[in-house]
Chains A and B, each alone.
Chain A
Amino acid sequence: MTGLLAQALNGVQYGLLLFLISSGLTLIFGVMGVINLAHGSLFMVGAYIAYAVVTATGSLWVALPCAVVGGIVVGAALERVLFRRFYKRDHLDQVLLTFALILLFEEARSMLLGNDFHSVATPAALAVSVPMLGGFSYSAYRLAVLVACLLVAAAMFLVIERTRVGSAIRAAAEKPEMVDLLGLDASRIHMLVFAVGTALAMLAGALAAPLQSVYPNMGDGFLIISFVVVVVGGVGSVAGAFWGALLIGLVDTMAKAYLPFASGLAVYAIMAAVLLWRPTGLFARA
């Protein structure tokens, strides 16, 4: 029983990290209709920013805002220069663009920081182990990441459900024509969503760096699992991304622990089941 609780905690923690990545993916997909394959690379860029900044300054507390600000800048620039030319084009063109971005990000990473794996030190204040159930400890940093993810999720809900900007984003995601009817500036909403989505992915990368270690192509696995989360939760729905990420995090963790032979398959089985039962995802508003 204690083992089960420990695994549930692992699943929730993993799921919340997935939420940070997939919330940006689902918003960009929902509002602009772009399949951003480079989202995993942005996660990697965030992790490498954490590595570079921690190496230079010794502090993750400096690295986290750097990743967020870097994400906003990179996201806004990508939207302005590249993506907005692709909204009206078909998905194949978008896939080609974003795949090219993956190659560019990886090559830039290789040239700037090399191909080695690196580990990023956890902040000294959080480097202690907290005893949990079943003779198992959790590092304080891992718990802090869990709390940070929850705070980000709460902030996103507040913004999206309670503010004017949020309702404009919701309108853009659900009824794009409403944005024009309400006299809102769609192009600014697009840039905002893209910048925030990118910043979330890079924040996730920076938060994960001390947990995950930093290595080439580290975003690939996260990209695929994030697409699963988006499909399960429903495209464009932040609430869907939240509950979908928790579900996928728990299923993946439990499968690894209790059904190791099926651990690679479990999340995809869930996705297939959801697609059969509710093809638009669990939280899509029909």
Chain B
Amino acid sequence: MVSPGNVSRRTFSAGMAALGAAGALGRPAVAQGAALKVGLMLPFSGTYAALGDSIATAFELYLAEKGGKLGGRGVQVIRLDDESDPSKAVQNVNRLLSRDKADVLVGTVHSGVVMAMVQASRERGVPLIIPNAGNVAATRDLCAPTVFRTSFTNWQPAYGMGRALAAQGVKRAAWVSWDYAAGNEAAEGFRDGLKSGGAELVKTLLLPFPETNFQPILAQLAGLDIEAAGAFFAGGGAVQFVRDYASAGLAARIPLSGSGFLTEGTLRAQGAAAEGVRTALHYGDGLDNARNAAFRAAFKDRAKREADVYAVQGYDAGQLLAAGLEATKGDVDADKVLVAAMEKARIDSPRGAFTLSQSHNPVQNIYLREAKGGENVVIGVAAPLLADPGTGCKMAAT
């Protein structure tokens, strides 16, 4: 359908693009070939709008820090709202690639939507950087030379949590989540993490997505012979689950833990019920490094609010793209050089430095956090430099 050569992408008026870049960034840009077009396909409306805004703002923050240029080439950012709607995903990707002539794709939050982006990247060879969606397939069965991720797989945080529990001496634990891909992938991580420390996942309790009547599950947990429970919920479900868990009187006897999303951006709504809940994630509050402090200050200055894990992922998407473009002097058509440089990159992230695994997913610290006074305070490292197993990834030559 579309020729692999990128001639058409290049025909865009150089002057227009330079103007666009200059206008967007408020500084004179020297036209050096057409500006590179980065399509930011993210949710800017709906449930995940706040996440999309964090990612986009942080990506643009990094660009601004680099004077609007990566690898010496001006960059023009095109934002597209994907509404987290999988049924519009293919159409939206096509709009960015065909109408807007995007050279690089960055997105998105929703696991279903990202699959259309992965497919487009595989078919057309357009570089894709995933700044959030954690479905394992993108860096396992469906991995590809041009598909990169700066966030996590659903498996990673849950593995860290399981491992941390086992390290505390827990022998038997249960897992609770919705019965959907992300929940099941996290359940596998939790099980593997427990097993790595000699502990056992004795029961997995699932309920249909997005059901929030947790009572039957909680009554069942109460009857199990376990020392800890892990959970994967997000958003409204996470708020409800943590509150119901506390009011069911289980928290004292069976401490609640989970993937970091259980308490991410939800602590205010969860209130006292979340106090003491331990979670594992690749980021947290109070991470003590200079890079993080500088990033948080710069983000707050730009966005007028505190940075979150999504902002970190968006910022690192910018850093990863920069690493590739520096090697090619801003040329995205030098596929092999670009991919090789991105694969080898060491990203100096606010979360702590990370590299990429062979399947292009971060090899990163998974931190153990505890909810205290409305913050997810980092209290240790649950799994140092953890790589997703990348099972089933057969990377074809570029």
Give A residues with C-beta under 8 Å from B: 2-3, 6-7, 10-11, 13-14, 115-119, 121, 129, 131, 134-139, 141-142, 212-216, 221, 253-254, 256-257, 260, 263-264
Contact indicator A134/B223 (Cβ below 8 Å): yes
**Which of chain A's residues has its CB closest to B247's CB?**
A139
Tally chain B residues at the interface, Cβ within 8 Å: 33
Q: For the complex of A and B, list the 3 residue pairs with the smallest distance between their C-beta atoms, beginning with the closest.
A: A137-B249, A117-B236, A139-B247
Name A215's contact: one of B217, B236, B247 (CB within 8 Å): B236
Contact indicator B208/A115 (Cβ below 8 Å): no
Please indicate the chain B residues that have their CB under 8 angstroms from the CB of A115 in the complex. Answer: 45-47, 49
A-B contact pairs, 30 of them (CB 8 A): A3-B223, A6-B222, A10-B219, A115-B45, A117-B47, A117-B269, A119-B236, A119-B243, A119-B269, A119-B270, A129-B248, A129-B249, A131-B249, A135-B222, A135-B223, A135-B250, A136-B223, A137-B249, A138-B248, A212-B240, A213-B239, A215-B235, A216-B47, A253-B213, A253-B215, A254-B216, A256-B207, A260-B206, A260-B207, A263-B207
Contact indicator B223/A213 (Cβ below 8 Å): no
Give B residues with C-beta under 8 Å from A: 45-47, 49, 179, 205-208, 211-213, 215-220, 222-223, 235-236, 239-240, 243, 247-250, 253, 269-271
Q: Once bound together, how far apart are the Cα atoms of A139 and B273, in whole Å?
A: 13
Please indicate the chain B residues that have their CB under 8 angstroms from the CB of A260 in the complex. Answer: 179, 205-207
Contact indicator A119/B240 (Cβ below 8 Å): yes
Please indicate the chain B residues that have their CB under 8 angstroms from the CB of A13 in the complex. Answer: 215
Contact indicator B219/A136 (Cβ below 8 Å): yes
Contact indicator A256/B216 (Cβ below 8 Å): yes
Please indicate the chain A residues that have their CB under 8 angstroms from the CB of B218 in the complex. Answer: 136
Contact indicator B247/A213 (Cβ below 8 Å): no
Contact indicator B248/A136 (Cβ below 8 Å): yes
Q: Once bound together, how far apart are the Cα atoms of A2 and B248, in whole Å?
A: 15
Please indicate the chain B residues that have their CB under 8 angstroms from the CB of A257 in the complex. Answer: 216-217, 219-220
Please indicate the chain A residues that have their CB under 8 angstroms from the CB of B216 in the complex. Answer: 7, 10-11, 253-254, 256-257
Q: Once bound together, how far apart are the Cα atoms of A141 and B215, in whole Å?
A: 14
Q: Once bound together, how far apart are the Cα atoms of A253 and B208, in whole Å?
A: 12
Q: Once bound together, how far apart are the Cα atoms of A182 and B219, in whole Å?
A: 52
